[in-house]
């Protein structure tokens, strides 16, 4: 009897665990949001109960007063629940959400939007935003394991931002059947190293060899440097030159990425210079951290920081028939897939 009760409890807990909801701060990079337009198939749960009739509602805040479709309202919280919640901002940025959306007005009138969503829908969105949805299934599955590992590491945060500060989440955008399949087939699978989920790193194109975590001062054994001849079909696989004089490479790591450089007679780390170059001249000039100087030009190959999984390499390996587990094992040789 006790055993039966325990089994039922266990089953209930595992079902509940499978459908855990998380809270995401949506439109988190938009500053001083004061007006939103909402439309779709959902119900208002607060401050009143009403079905939305696919008409456009406007929620805005002005002089510390909340307005709902032009009428002043006392409540500073709107709760929308349903399958299809379209939100448009004044700059015409538009996204569609499911689950529950909270619109909260802060005392200074700024609107904060949050989306309570089940983990699986969240992971599907993240995978579809971080990797092209038409890529091979096994590459998408590798990305799905990484997305779930990252989420596991963020479990203690009460609210996740929807930006790349955490993982890029854009509601139902990029929710394709192929991505759904990739997530379904890897559900609850995460990458572990010595009883702990790994800290996730991936980038677009390594350009020939990934760097160890030391490059980013992330000294983990599972972030080792691996040769990669699989990202050749990336648009960043060819050398790119840009006219930037006065750079001197002082030291490189074994993958060829500059560890220290001298720019305009100032010594800095190779990664620091790369970030500075991206911020000052745009991210397209030196797309990746694998760069070198020749005369007055800086040459580079690849895109992104070059640590962890090379996404174009994952695509190349999947195109060759490798499974997601083999892809992950290639870029994180020390880590193991664990099913939670
Ligand atoms: Zn690569």
- pLDDT tens, the chain, 340 aa long: 444 433 433 433 443 346 589 999 999 999 999 999 999 999 999 999 999 988 999 999 998 899 999 999 988 999 999 989 999 999 999 999 999 999 999 999 999 999 999 999 999 999 999 999 999 999 999 999 999 999 999 988 999 999 988 899 999 988 899 999 999 999 999 999 999 999 999 999 999 999 999 999 999 999 999 999 999 999 999 999 999 998 999 999 999 999 999 998 899 999 999 999 999 999 899 999 999 999 999 999 999 999 999 999 999 999 999 999 999 999 999 999 999 9
Instruction: Give the residue numbers spanning the domain of 50.
Output: 23-117
The pLDDT score that the predictor gives to residue 17 is: 46
**Domain count along the chain:** 3
Tell me the per-residue pLDDT of 24-61, one tens digit each, with 9 for 90 and over.
999 999 999 999 999 999 999 999 999 998 899 999 99
Residue 289 Cα to ligand 1 midpoint, Å, equals 13
Do 336 and 224 lie in one domain? The reply is yes
Ligand 1 midpoint to CA 76 (Å): 49
Q: Ligand 1 mean position to 223 CA, how many Å?
A: 14
Domain boundary, last residue among 117, 144, 179: 117
Helix (H, G, I), strand (E, B) or coil at 324: helix
pLDDT reported for residue 61 = 94
Instruction: For residue 64, report the distance from its CA to the centre of ligand 1, in Å.
Output: 52
- Rounded CA-CA distance 37/40 in Å is 10
Closest CA to 38 of 121, 103, 112: 103
Count helices and strands (H / E) in the chain. 7, 21
Q: How far is the CA of 256 from the centre of ligand 1 (A)?
A: 13
Residue 218: CA count within 13 A, CB half-sphere: 17
Is 102 in the same domain as 135? no
Count of other CB atoms within 10 angstroms of residue 333? 11
Say how far apart CA 243 and CA 252 lie, in whole Å: 21
Residues 188 and 219 in one domain: yes
The verdict on residue 11 lying in a domain is no
Nearest to 147 by CA among 183, 95, 185: 183
Say whether both 207 and 337 belong to one domain: yes
* Domain co-membership, 199 together with 270: no
Q: Tell whether 258 and 286 lie within a shared domain.
A: yes
161 CA → ligand 1 middle, Å: 29
229 and 131 within one domain = yes
Ligand 1 centroid from CA 107, angstroms: 49
Give 260 Cα–ligand 1 centroid separation in angstroms. Answer: 22
First to last CA, the chain: 27
Give the Å distance between the CA of 220 and the centre of ligand 1.
Answer: 20
**Are residue 29 and residue 48 in the same domain, yes or no?**
yes
Residue 18: per-residue pLDDT: 60
Q: Are residues 184 and 166 in the same domain?
A: yes
Residue 338 and residue 220 in one domain: yes
**Same structural domain, 318 and 290:** no
- 276 with 333, same domain: the answer is no
pTM: 0.90
Q: Where are the alpha helices (DSSP H) in 60-185?
A: 119-130, 137-153, 177-184
């Amino acid at each position: 009897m006790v055993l039966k009760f325990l089994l039922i409890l266990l089953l209930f807990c595992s079902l509940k665990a499978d459908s855990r909801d998380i809270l995401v701060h949506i439109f988190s990079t938009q500053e001083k949001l004061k007006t939103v337009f909402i439309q779709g198939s959902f119900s208002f749960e607060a401050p009143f109960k009403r079905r939305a009739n696919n008409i456009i509602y406007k929620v805005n805040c002005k002089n510390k007063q909340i307005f709902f479709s032009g009428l002043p309202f006392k409540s500073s919280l709107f709760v929308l629940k349903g399958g299809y919640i379209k939100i448009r901002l004044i700059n015409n940025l538009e996204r569609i959400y499911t689950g529950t959306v909270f619109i909260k007005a802060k005392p200074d009138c700024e609107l904060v939007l949050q989306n309570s969503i089940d983990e699986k829908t969240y992971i599907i969105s993240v995978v579809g935003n971080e990797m092209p949805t038409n890529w091979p299934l096994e590459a998408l599955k590798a990305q799905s394991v990484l997305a779930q590992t990252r989420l596991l590491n963020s479990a203690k945060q009460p609210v996740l931002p929807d930006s790349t500060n955490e993982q890029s989440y854009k509601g139902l955008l990029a929710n394709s059947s192929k991505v759904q399949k990739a997530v379904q087939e890897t559900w609850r699978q995460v990458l572990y190293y010595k009883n702990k989920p790994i800290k996730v790193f991936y980038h677009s194109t390594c350009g020939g060899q990934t760097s160890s975590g030391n490059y980013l001062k992330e000294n983990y054994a599972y972030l080792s440097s691996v040769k990669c001849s699989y990202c050749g079909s990336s648009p960043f696989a060819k050398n790119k030159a840009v006219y930037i004089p006065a750079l001197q490479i002082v030291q490189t790591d074994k993958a060829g990425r500059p560890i220290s450089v001298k720019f305009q007679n100032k010594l800095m780390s190779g990664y620091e210079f790369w970030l500075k170059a991206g911020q000052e001249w745009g991210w397209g000039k030196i797309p990746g951290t694998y760069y070198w100087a020749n005369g007055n030009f800086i040459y580079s190959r690849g895109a992104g920081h070059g640590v962890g999984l090379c996404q174009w390499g994952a695509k190349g390996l999947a195109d060759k028939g490798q499974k997601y587990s083999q892809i992950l094992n290639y870029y994180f040789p020390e880590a193991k897939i664990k099913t939670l």
